[in-house]
Amino acid sequence: MLDLLVFSHESGYGKKATLPCPCGWRGHPTKECVCAPPALARYLSRLSRPLLDRIDLQVEVAALPFERWAAEDGGPEEGSAAVRARVEAARERQRRRFQGEAPAVNADIAARDLRRHCALRGDGIKLLAQAARRFGLSARSLDRILRVARTIADLEDRPDVSAGHLSEAVHYRCLERWQPRESRAAQAVRHGGEAGS
Ligand SMILES: [Zn+2]
């Protein structure tokens, strides 16, 4: 079983989903998944593109190893009070950015305003171009990556979205990173079709 955290801001949807792989052991801390990559890709390709396009975050959650479970404290992780303070500071940065404008948070930035709020440098554009080609990302998916990268930058109190922030945001789209690679022709058809929408 593969545990995932999926989150969609616009549908107010955040939950843990379980996606079994054909052998059932993917994501397990000690058992080994024996599914061949093409078999796994075929399995995951049943998830529809429009569904994936609506999800902001897709994160694989590793099953808890016994040692972690048995340990008395929760490990060196950041306490929830510290996390809350960072999130509130990032929200405050967003409020200042959008003062008087329609979006209240980065997740609500309209596609046409994205480049204004998430200016990209050359290395960032190159990274996104590579990810789009490699994983067959749709235009909507790339927009979501930009909004998430903007939020990661806000959490770090950085004024600009860096290639590192974009890379982390791409990482949070694990279901698309596992999709079978499409032929360039198929991608061209799909992106061409979306350009007018
Ligand atoms: Zn498996």
Q: What is the pLDDT of residues 69-124, one digit of tens each?
A: 777 665 566 788 888 999 999 999 999 998 877 777 899 999 999 999 999 999 99
State the Cα–Cα distance between residues 9 and 110, nearest whole angstrom.
13
Residues with CB under 5 A from ligand 1 (ion): 21, 23, 26, 33, 35
Question: Is position 73 within any domain?
Answer: no
Q: How many domains does the chain have?
A: 1
Q: Which residues, 6+ apart, have CB-to-CB distance to 126 below 8 Å?
A: 163
Q: What pTM was computed for the model?
A: 0.76
CA of 59 to the centre of ligand 1 (A): 17
Strands of the sheet containing 13-19, edge to edge, are 13-19, 2-8, 57-61
CA of 28 to the centre of ligand 1 (A): 10
CA of 163 to the centre of ligand 1 (A): 32
Question: Is position 128 within any domain?
Answer: yes
Rg, Å, the chain Cα set = 18
Question: Is position 71 within any domain?
Answer: no
CA of 187 to the centre of ligand 1 (A): 27
Angle between helix axes 163-171 and 122-135 (nearest 10 degrees) is 20
Question: Is position 153 within any domain?
Answer: yes
Q: Which residue has the tokens 């008395």?
A: 72
